[in-house]
């Protein structure tokens, strides 16, 4: 993979990860409260707007990335964020790492590595 696709892929990975984590932080707490009050509280969270901004930027970066690679390679490389998000979920939110989740993420990581090497 040449320099520009690598930079775009890394940017996409960072923006997607920060966007998902920001949404998780904004949505944390009060999950049982599905009334309007909960939604107004979330809308006032700066993290919600960080997440929205990240996803808007990610959209632009993703389009640029897909112009440089075949769709099948680009989409597979885009799946690597699942690995990163699982690790951050474990570290930041104490989410469980079951053997099935670890096996699935390991398969995704291997697939991304094979695509990257086969470039």
Picking from 52, 84, 59, 44, the residue whose alpha carbon sits closest to that of residue 8 is 59
The neighbour count for residue 15, using CB atoms within 10 Å, is: 22
Q: Which pLDDT score, from 0 to 100, does residue 49 have?
A: 95
- Please say if the pLDDT value at position 119 is more than 60: no
- pLDDT tens, position by position, 49-92: 999 999 999 999 999 999 998 887 888 778 888 888 988 999 99
- pLDDT tens, position by position, 34-43: 677 777 888 8
pTM (2 d.p.): 0.81
- Please say if the pLDDT value at position 110 is more than 80: yes
Distances 13 to 57, 85, 97, 101, 105 between C-alpha atoms, Å: 11, 10, 21, 20, 15
What is the torsional sign of CA 30, 36, 39, 41?
Answer: negative
């Amino acid at each position: 993979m040449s320099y520009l696709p690598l930079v775009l892929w890394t940017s996409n990975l960072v923006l997607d990860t920060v966007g998902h984590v920001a949404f998780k932080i904004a949505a944390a707490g009060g999950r049982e409260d599905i009334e309007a009050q909960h939604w107004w509280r979330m809308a006032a969270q700066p993290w919600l707007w960080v997440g929205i901004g990240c996803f808007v930027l990610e959209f632009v970066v993703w389009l640029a990335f897909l112009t440089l690679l075949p769709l099948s390679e680009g989409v597979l490389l885009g799946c690597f964020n699942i690995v990163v998000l699982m690790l951050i979920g474990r570290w930041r939110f104490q989410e469980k790492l079951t053997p099935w989740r670890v096996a699935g993420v390991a398969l995704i990581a291997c697939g991304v590595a094979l695509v990257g090497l086969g470039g």
